[in-house]
């Protein structure tokens, strides 16, 4: 049964379907592993054992009666602690929301429950989800699977750790600037950022409503497809007939600058494997993309400050200073500047879409750096700022351009390759991802 902890959600769902895996036994395997794990309290903010057992028993009964609700009915997953859970605290990684207990589930959790997924509990995150590093001295910093002294990536830090350490089949996270893809890459799993607006945000504590997205962290592209469909309440696309050869573009603008040796090596090796599998790969530049980065700071902080300001100013000392400093920059943004920046960003999005239309995906290293040392980040404020901006630089391309994006492991520890698709064409990117995943082994 311990092998179940390392299987894909797809395989476990198939096992439940043929009767070789009982959802109750599967859920108990994960609950026991969580209880016994030395990093349990650094990964899970709260374990919802009673809910998990009730949902597993119902899934087991449906399986025996031949009434399964979908391919993942009975599969246990974790939830980032910004998705509302009825009767269970949802605190968004901040003391500002300590004890906040919603009356209803977030819409994506309701959809997932209706599809039969089992809720194991709530995972830790960067405070209010506003960091790509995963460092959170105010609640907990989850571990990195490859380096005990390093941060796990954020903001969906506990979501990634729950999967990487075998304490959930998959984790459901959110991504505003890279918060699914960075922790997925740094913990050698798959992460999928959906197009903004694809999945509902109702009942999700926001960071930045104009950029927030929901997405899974898991073990395969097929898992990502099935999980996304469950979150949406839809049918997953058929990926079984996805074929190459792929036409891919390496984005040279910004994304290939200042790469550390390991991410560069991992990316180059992955590109070599894709070429060996028949992919046609060329280099492109989109010079105007640099202007979108220049506007990103005011767009993100103004949106975030508008929602969070009253809560923060009621108790600003309760926040990690790095997060407070970052979000409070939004209070100085003028409305005219914000509106003008959005007008510029829309023009850049149109230029980017035209430049990349002929390609199946645009590729780049998921992050230009390895996970930084947690203690150094705490001790050196300037280092924290520099590493956080670098960590999120490449992933933010997809958020600014409103693209679906997928990160896959390269085989080099904590180094992912990111594939960015076309706005609204999430299912097409998943088909591209299946082909790329096979090429990467």
Say yes or no: 225 and 362 in one domain. Answer: no
296 domain residue, yes or no:
no
88 domain residue, yes or no:
yes
The helix or strand, by DSSP H or E, that contains position 274, with its residue range, turns out to be helix 261-276
Say yes or no: 157 and 260 in one domain. Answer: no
Domain range spanning residue 254?
A: 248-289+334-440
DSSP line for 171-223: EEEEESSSTTHHHHHHTTSEEEEPPTTSS--TTB--S-TTT-EEEEEES-HHH
433 domain residue, yes or no:
yes
- Residue 105: Cβ-neighbour burial (10 angstroms; 0-12, 13-18, 19+): buried
Say yes or no: 180 and 254 in one domain. Answer: no
From the CB of residue 261, how many other CB atoms can be counted at a distance below 10 Å? 8
Say yes or no: 189 and 98 in one domain. Answer: yes
403 φ/ψ angles, rounded to the nearest 5 degrees: -115, 150
Local mean pLDDT, 10-residue blocks, the chain (441 residues): 94 98 98 98 98 98 98 98 98 98 98 98 98 98 98 98 98 98 99 98 98 98 98 96 93 98 98 98 98 97 98 97 97 97 98 98 98 98 98 98 98 98 98 98 91
197 domain residue, yes or no:
yes
Question: Which one is catalytic: 60, 131, 155, 328?
Answer: 155
319: left (phi over 0), alpha (psi -120 to 50) or beta: beta
6 domain residue, yes or no:
yes
Query: Residue 175: its pLDDT value, please?
Result: 98
**Nearest of 85, 220, 217, 225 to residue 161 by alpha carbon:** 217
Query: Residue 420: its pLDDT value, please?
Result: 99
Say yes or no: 275 and 130 in one domain. Answer: no
Structure tokens belonging to residue 360: 């199946």
User: Is 179 an annotated catalytic residue?
Assistant: yes
308 domain residue, yes or no:
no
Question: Which one is catalytic: 156, 174, 179, 220?
Answer: 179
Say yes or no: 223 and 268 in one domain. Answer: no
309 φ/ψ angles, rounded to the nearest 5 degrees: -60, -45
Which domain CATH number covers 128?
Answer: 3.90.1300.10
Query: Residue 328: its pLDDT value, please?
Result: 97
Distance separating alpha carbons of residues 308 and 315, to the nearest angstrom:
11
User: Is 295 an annotated catalytic residue?
Assistant: no
Say yes or no: 228 and 367 in one domain. Answer: no
405 domain residue, yes or no:
yes
Say yes or no: 173 and 265 in one domain. Answer: no
Beta bridge partners of 192: 406
Contact 285, 253 (CB under 8 A): yes
**Nearest of 384, 312, 331, 316 to residue 131 by alpha carbon:** 384
Question: Which one is catalytic: 60, 78, 80, 122?
Answer: 80
Say yes or no: 53 and 138 in one domain. Answer: yes
Say yes or no: 226 and 152 in one domain. Answer: yes
Contact 179, 199 (CB under 8 A): no
Beta bridge partners of 361: 248
The helix or strand, by DSSP H or E, that contains position 400, with its residue range, turns out to be helix 396-400
Say yes or no: 112 and 253 in one domain. Answer: no
Say yes or no: 200 and 261 in one domain. Answer: no
297 domain residue, yes or no:
no
Query: Residue 146: its pLDDT value, please?
Result: 98
For tokens 């994006």, the residue is 405
Q: Is the dihedral of CA 214, 219, 225, 227 positive or negative?
A: negative
User: Is 80 an annotated catalytic residue?
Assistant: yes
Domains of the chain: total: 2
């Amino acid at each position: 049964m311990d092998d179940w902890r390392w299987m894909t959600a797809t395989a476990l769902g198939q096992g439940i379907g043929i009767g070789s895996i009982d959802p109750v036994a599967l859920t108990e395997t994960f609950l026991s592993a969580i209880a016994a794990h030395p990093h349990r309290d650094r990964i899970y903010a709260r374990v919802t054992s009673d809910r998990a057992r009730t949902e597993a028993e119902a899934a087991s009964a449906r399986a025996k009666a031949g009434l399964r609700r979908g391919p993942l009915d009975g599969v246990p997953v974790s939830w980032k602690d910004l998705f509302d859970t009825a009767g269970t605290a949802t605190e968004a990684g901040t003391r500002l929301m300590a004890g906040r207990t919603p009356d209803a589930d977030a819409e994506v959790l309701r959809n997932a429950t209706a599809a039969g997924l089992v809720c194991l509990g709530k995972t830790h995150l960067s405070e209010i989800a506003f960091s790509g590093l995963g460092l959170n001295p105010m609640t907990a910093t989850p571990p990195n699977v490859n380096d005990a002294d390093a941060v796990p990536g954020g903001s969906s830090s506990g979501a990634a750790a729950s999967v990487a350490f075998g304490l959930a089949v998959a984790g459901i996270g959110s991504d505003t600037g890279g918060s699914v893809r960075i922790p997925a890459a740094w913990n050698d799993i798959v992460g999928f950022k959906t197009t903004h607006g694809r999945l509902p945000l109702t009942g999700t504590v926001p960071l930045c409503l104009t950029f927030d997205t929901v997405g899974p962290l898991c073990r395969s592209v097929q898992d990502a497809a099935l999980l996304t469909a469950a979150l949406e309440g839809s049918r997953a696309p058929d990926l079984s007939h996805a074929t190459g050869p792929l036409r891919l573009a390496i984005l040279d603008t910004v994304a290939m600058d200042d790469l550390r040796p390991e991410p560069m090596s991992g990316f180059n090796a992955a590109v070599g494997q894709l070429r060996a599998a028949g992919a046609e790969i060329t280099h492109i530049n989109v010079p105007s993309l640099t202007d979108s980065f220049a506007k990103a700071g005011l767009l993100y902080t103004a949106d975030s400050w508008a929602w969070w300001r009253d809560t923060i100013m009621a108790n600003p000392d309760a926040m990690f200073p790095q997060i407070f400093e970052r979000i409070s920059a939004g209070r100085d943004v003028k409305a005219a500047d914000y509106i003008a920046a959005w007008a510029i960003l829309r023009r850049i999005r149109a230029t980017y879409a035209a430049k990349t239309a002929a390609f199946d995906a645009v590729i780049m290293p998921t992050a230009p750096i390895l996970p930084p040392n947690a203690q150094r980040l705490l001790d050196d404020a300037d280092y924290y700022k520099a590493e956080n901006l670098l960590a999120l630089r490449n992933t933010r391309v997809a958020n600014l351009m409103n693209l679906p994006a997928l990160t896959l492991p390269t085989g080099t520890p904590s180094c992912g390759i990111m594939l960015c698709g076309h706005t609204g064409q999430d299912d097409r990117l998943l088909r591209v991802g299946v082909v790329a995943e096979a090429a990467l082994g």
